[in-house]
Amino acid sequence: MQKRKTVLDILTMKKTGEKITMLTAYDAAMASLLASADVDMLLVGDSLGMVVLGYDSTVPVTMDEMIHHASAVRRGAPGAFVVADLPFGSYQTGIRDALINGSRFLKEAGCDAVKLEGGLEVCDTVAALVRAGISVMGHIGLTPQTATQLGGYKVQGRDLQSAKKMVAEALALEKAGAFAIVMECIPDELGRIISEEIAVPTIGIGAGVHCDGQVLVVNDLLGMFEKFIPSFVKSYCKLAPTIKEAVAEYNREVRSGAFPDKKHSFSSESNLRELLGLS
Ligand code: KIV
């Protein structure tokens, strides 16, 4: 079993220049596979709303859905460092709600940390969570929970003013106590500058190679989610066509009677019909 990393280990990785890997996981089976492949951190992202639950965005995802999936991830990967997303509406309504919901991830799902989206407006919440003993990962740049306010799913921080704002947000989140910051969909040079300016690790997704670590949605990495593939995603294999081919083959074999064959069936007395008294 993996030795579970700590926040201190993650911070040390930045100091020693060791790149950090993070992938999303939503269930026990995948979490177990990812942990055995030695991923540094698992993220129970609210992206599960889109890639697992079939919603159009992350907005409808509830705390109970997150707890359900985060608990499964923890069961599948007891040795992994697990971060869970505070979903939309679970922390914007006030610090008390953030504390209640953040604690639920630790108490009910056994998570190691929570992640929340936003810049200066969430710094008081981040500080309160950290004070309460809940480790927090920030998330700036493209923040999917408020993507409509940002003009949709597009690169952030391209102009000087928004780049400046993002540097300020990263510094403020670090000051508030965030132990790491996800930066989504920003120019790679801005990714480099922020990574150099703050002491806590930056975890990039569409933020270039200079971030201290990288995160991807595992379904994208595995080529399982065909509905929408952002340009920054690299699929390391194409499971969707493999799955479809396997299922088509199964359909063919069931329909033709080729499956199950002798090898995949249990044998019994050859005169069972007679033994059962049936003629
Ligand atoms: O929800 C999620 O999966 C995320 C990652 C894309 C960083 O927030």
279 residues of the chain, pLDDT tens digit each: 678 999 999 999 999 999 999 999 999 999 999 999 999 999 999 999 999 999 999 999 999 999 999 999 999 999 999 999 999 999 999 999 999 999 999 999 999 999 999 999 999 999 999 999 999 999 999 999 988 888 778 899 999 999 999 999 999 999 999 999 999 999 999 999 999 999 999 999 999 999 999 999 999 999 997 777 889 999 999 999 999 999 999 999 999 999 999 999 999 888 999 999 997
Contact indicator for 98, 90 with CB cutoff of 8 Å: yes
Contact indicator for 53, 65 with CB cutoff of 8 Å: yes
**Residue type at 175 in one-letter notation:** K
Q: How much is the pLDDT for 151?
A: 78
Of the candidates 243, 233, 216, the one whose C-alpha atom is nearest the C-alpha of residue 20 is 216
Determine if the peptide bond prior to 260 is cis (ω within 30°).
yes
At 18 the three-state DSSP class reads coil
Contact indicator for 86, 103 with CB cutoff of 8 Å: no
CA-to-CA distance for 132 and 126, rounded, in angstroms?
Answer: 10
**Domain 7-238 class, CATH top level:** alpha beta
Contact indicator for 129, 99 with CB cutoff of 8 Å: yes
- Residue whose CA is at the smallest distance from ligand 1 atom 3: 45
Helices (H) and strands (E) in the chain, counts: 11, 8
The DSSP code for 26 is -
The 10 Å CB-count burial string (b at 16+, else e) for 54-83 is eeebbbebebebbbbbbbbbbebbeebbbb
* Residue to mutate (ligand 1; options 42, 44, 46, 47; most atoms within 8 A of CB): 47
- Both tokens of 60, joined, read 């409808």
pTM (two decimals): 0.96
Of 184, 226, 245, 249, the active-site residue reads 184
184 catalytic? Reply is yes
Domain extent listing, the chain: 7-238, 242-275
